[in-house]
Amino acid sequence: MLITILLAGCSKKGDPAGAEPAEYYLRFKAEGLQQEYRQVTSAHLYYDAENLAYHCNLTAALDISAPTRNILSLFLVNKEQYKTGIVYHLRNGIHMPKTNAVMPQVMISLLNENGKPYTAQLLPASWYQFDDMAEVRFSEITDKHVRGYFSGLAFTAMPERTPMKITDGEFYLSVIR
């Protein structure tokens, strides 16, 4: 389940002098254990005209030669361009006109060190109490990089639904074109 990032665009110009690709990262704690991924560090921001929505896919891996483990991706969708200082939440449903679907504003996809998938992607429903949580806040958006913070509560597939608490998430990712 390797995520391919192809294109990007952002809202502001500039990047700090001397920023090298090795400086990009996505770090977080998974059940209290510190993780830091420094490969395939990319942000893909684009506008989906068919659904009148902005998308942002943030991804990083521990080791590109192991594409089935130690990968975390954050997927965002919004009706307006992304801005700094705003907290985007999974619980906010975004209507997609082309399919008439409602998507969570933020989703998390994590493959742990054993390749076991965890996701936070289910909106609250009246017929079942889903505990999925995810939030992202951008602190900087440029044409070269994005920075920000994230956290969430992701789960394995049903019926097991084993939780994975994700805290203290930070990212500094390159924007690719």
Residue 131 forms part of a structural domain: yes
Residue 130 confidence (pLDDT): 79
**Cα(15)–Cα(77) distance, integer angstroms:** 24
154-163: average pLDDT: 92
Residue 136 forms part of a structural domain: yes
Residue 55 forms part of a structural domain: yes
Closest-CA residue to 152 (of 174, 175, 134): 134
List the domain range (segments joined by +) for residue 109. Answer: 26-175
Tokens describing residue 9: 């665009």
Residue 39 forms part of a structural domain: yes
pTM, whole model, 2 decimals?
0.85
Residue 51 forms part of a structural domain: yes
| 42-88 pLDDT per residue, tens | 999 999 999 999 999 999 999 989 989 999 999 999 999 999 999 99
Our CA angle for 170, 137, 107, nearest 5°, is 85
How many domains are there within the chain? 1
Residue 5 forms part of a structural domain: no
Residue 21 forms part of a structural domain: no
Residue 22 confidence (pLDDT): 66
Residue 45 confidence (pLDDT): 96
Residue 63 forms part of a structural domain: yes
| 5-17 pLDDT per residue, tens | 222 333 334 444 4
| 89-138 pLDDT per residue, tens | 999 999 999 999 999 999 999 999 999 999 999 987 777 777 899 999 99
